[in-house]
């Protein structure tokens, strides 16, 4: 913790959590910016935003809250990060990574990828987002160009998730498997967890908010559990 009375912080966290669940984006952002004005953006993120996002992520993975509420949480985080960047304040952005993100070839469902990007940025990761319909070669070329050790590939449906195999094959063909790790995600992996291994993924996360610890593990080369 970077400062502040514990009781006050706990109350603020509770209020912020409620605002997120009620989709009160403006109110939540105003609260975080007010906090940042007094104590700095780093404290606003570390003491307030991150713990609440963690709670949202846990509830999301247990299906206690909705995709919309997770999405609003992402938008709030994005708004605060933009404000922090434009204020040239004390928040340290882009201190980890970079990592590559993109939707696999033929996939145009960008929601999950964008949410992962927001939560990774909030956790200090530098993101190179290649967008939708990214070819296997483009993923690997970008990872080499930027020195990324993790590629995050998103696919919503079974038909497009199958295309992730080609990304794994590209890594294998260039002798990069093990050096560059493959995070996979999207709705279909929640329905069929075994697909993570089948398509050549090194790991996945139960929700976008839980992407940062996954990328931490993959970046440092920690092994992932079966089906993780």
- CB of residue 178 to other proteins, shortest distance in Å: 31
Residue 109 in contact with other proteins, rule: CB under 8 A:
yes
Residues contacting other proteins: total by CB under 8 A? 19
Calpha distance 117→125 (Å, rounded): 9
CB closer to other proteins, 101 vs 143: 101
Calpha distance 102→112 (Å, rounded): 10
Calpha distance 228→221 (Å, rounded): 14
CB closer to other proteins, 71 vs 219: 71
Contact 195, 188 (CB under 8 A): yes
CB closer to other proteins, 63 vs 172: 63
Calpha distance 134→162 (Å, rounded): 14
- Interface residue with other proteins among 42, 46, 61, 69 (CB under 8 A) is 69
- CB of residue 189 to other proteins, shortest distance in Å: 14
- Interface residue with other proteins among 96, 114, 121, 168 (CB under 8 A) is 114
- CB of residue 20 to other proteins, shortest distance in Å: 10
Angle between helices 136-146 and 164-173 (to 10 degrees): 50
- CB of residue 162 to other proteins, shortest distance in Å: 9
CB closer to other proteins, 23 vs 85: 23
- Interface residue with other proteins among 4, 27, 54, 71 (CB under 8 A) is 71
- Interface residue with other proteins among 25, 146, 165, 197 (CB under 8 A) is 25
Cα 171 to chain centroid distance, Å, stands at: 22
Residue 110 in contact with other proteins, rule: CB under 8 A:
yes
> For 180, what's the count of Cα atoms within 13 Å in the CB-facing half-sphere?
27
Got the DSSP string for 45-86?
Answer: IIIIIHHHHHHHHHHHHTTSS-HHHHHHHHHHHHHHHHHHHH
Residue 30 in contact with other proteins, rule: CB under 8 A:
no
Structure tokens at 61: 């993975």
Cis peptide before 98 (omega within 30 of 0): yes
- Interface residue with other proteins among 50, 106, 141, 224 (CB under 8 A) is 106
- Judged by the rule CB under 8 A, the positions of this chain that interact with other proteins are 21-23, 25, 63, 66-69, 71-72, 106, 108-111, 114, 157, 159
């Amino acid at each position: 913790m970077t400062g502040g009375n514990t009781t006050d912080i706990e109350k603020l966290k509770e209020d912020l959590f409620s605002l997120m669940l009620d989709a009160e984006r403006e109110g939540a952002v105003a609260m975080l910016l007010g906090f940042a004005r007094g104590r700095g953006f780093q404290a606003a993120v570390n003491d307030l935003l991150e713990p609440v996002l963690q709670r949202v992520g846990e509830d999301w993975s247990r299906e206690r809250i909705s995709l919309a509420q997770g999405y609003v949480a992402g938008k709030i985080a994005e708004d605060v990060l933009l404000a922090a960047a434009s204020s040239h304040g004390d928040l340290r952005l882009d201190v980890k990574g970079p990592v590559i993100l993109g939707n696999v070839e033929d996939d145009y469902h960008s929601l999950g990828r964008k949410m992962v990007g927001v939560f990774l940025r909030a956790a200090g990761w530098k993101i190179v987002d290649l967008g939708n319909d990214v070819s296997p070669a483009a993923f690997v070329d970008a990872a080499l160009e930027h020195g990324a050790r993790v590629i995050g590939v998103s696919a919503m449906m079974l038909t497009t998730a199958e295309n992730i195999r080609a990304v794994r094959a590209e890594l294998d063909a260039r002798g990069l498997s093990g050096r560059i790790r493959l995070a996979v995600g999207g709705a279909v992996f929640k329905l069929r967890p075994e697909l993570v291994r089948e398509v050549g993924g090194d790991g996945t996360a139960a929700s976008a908010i839980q992407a940062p610890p996954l990328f931490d593990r993959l970046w440092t080369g920690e092994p992932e559990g079966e089906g993780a």
